[in-house]
Structure 1
């Protein structure tokens, strides 16, 4: 497993994710992710926050998720690119995988909230697809990983 590198749009913030625990990549099609990304879905890679090293000036925003979790969003203070999130109900951080340098090599293993996906998005037949999302930490681990 390699160290991952990524950064913001303007280049003011760079980050790396050291090798360690990682879930398989997933796409979330919930309307919350659609609104927050301004796109059809969010592409996430879950890692431990301690495995992320950031250089550059970042800012943090907060909001309450529909689940009630308190979410912190970390991003570039200059261009406002969202880089990753954490929340008070999950020990993992969600890297916004489109900010990774190798994002063109990434294919989601699973798709969540497909009941609210945009109608033109086609889910590959070999990908896991859930109407909502895994309901428990055990279900997340059983479906998504960890990667080896």
Structure 2
């Protein structure tokens, strides 16, 4: 089975070779707020090598404040960001969950960078929260609980 998604205009489509995606998180950092134009972004974590795309795909690299290289993939027509990889997290692809075809079935298993969350966003007590970026061990534990 496969999970599919795509950009806003439909020119670029992608497929994730998986039956389901459980590792979903919301990021409340100010960068994600600016990128999304909203209060937070929702991400799906999948293994690298499980995602393939058709259509015009552009790539660009950003250097994060920590010095890591973040390779962004976006539609070459409408510039919707679809996923990225990061040199500090090898083997992992971070998909913009809102670009998945069936994104209404997803629920975050963690919230990160909550110190920057908008004051009107209310988080439930049953989902782990992290003030900033958690360690990989903490993050993995939260996403696989």
Q: TM-score, normalised by structure 1?
A: 0.90
Partner of 1:26: 25
- Aligned ranges 1:85-100 → 2 under 5 Å: 85-91=84-90, 92-100=92-100
- Take 2:30 and 2:10, find their aligned partners in 1: how far apart are those partners? 29
5 Å matches for 1:32-111? 32-91=31-90, 92-111=92-111
Deviation of residue 139 (structure 1)? 2.3
Other structure's SS at 2:49 match: helix
CA distance in 1, matches of 2:139, 2:122: 23
Aligned to 1:120: 120
Greater alpha carbon shift after TM alignment, 60-69 vs 7-16: 60-69
Deviation >3 Å, runs of 4+: 20-23
Between 1:46-55 and 1:92-101, the stretch displaced more is: 46-55
* CA distance in structure 2 between the partners assigned to 1:139 and 1:68 by the alignment: 21
Q: Secondary structure at the match of 1:123?
A: coil
> Could you tell me how far apart the structure 1 residues matched to 2:44 and 2:106 are?
10
2:133 is matched with which residue?
A: 133
**Contact kept? 2:23, 2:46, Cα under 8 Å:** no
Q: Which runs of 5+ in 1 are unaligned?
A: none
**Distance apart, 1:133 and its partner CA:** 2.2
Shift of 1:21: 9.3
> Contact 1:75 / 1:81 at 8 angstroms: preserved in 2?
yes
Partners of 2:120 and 2:20 lie apart in 1 by 33
Superposed CA RMSD in Å reads 1.7
Displacement of 1:22 after TM fit? Answer: 5.4
- Check 1:101–1:37 CA distance in 2 against 1; reply closer, same or farther (3 A cut): same
- CA deviation string 1:35-90 (max 9, x = no partner): 12221111111112200010111001211112221111101000000000111111
TM-score normalised by the chain length of structure 2: 0.91
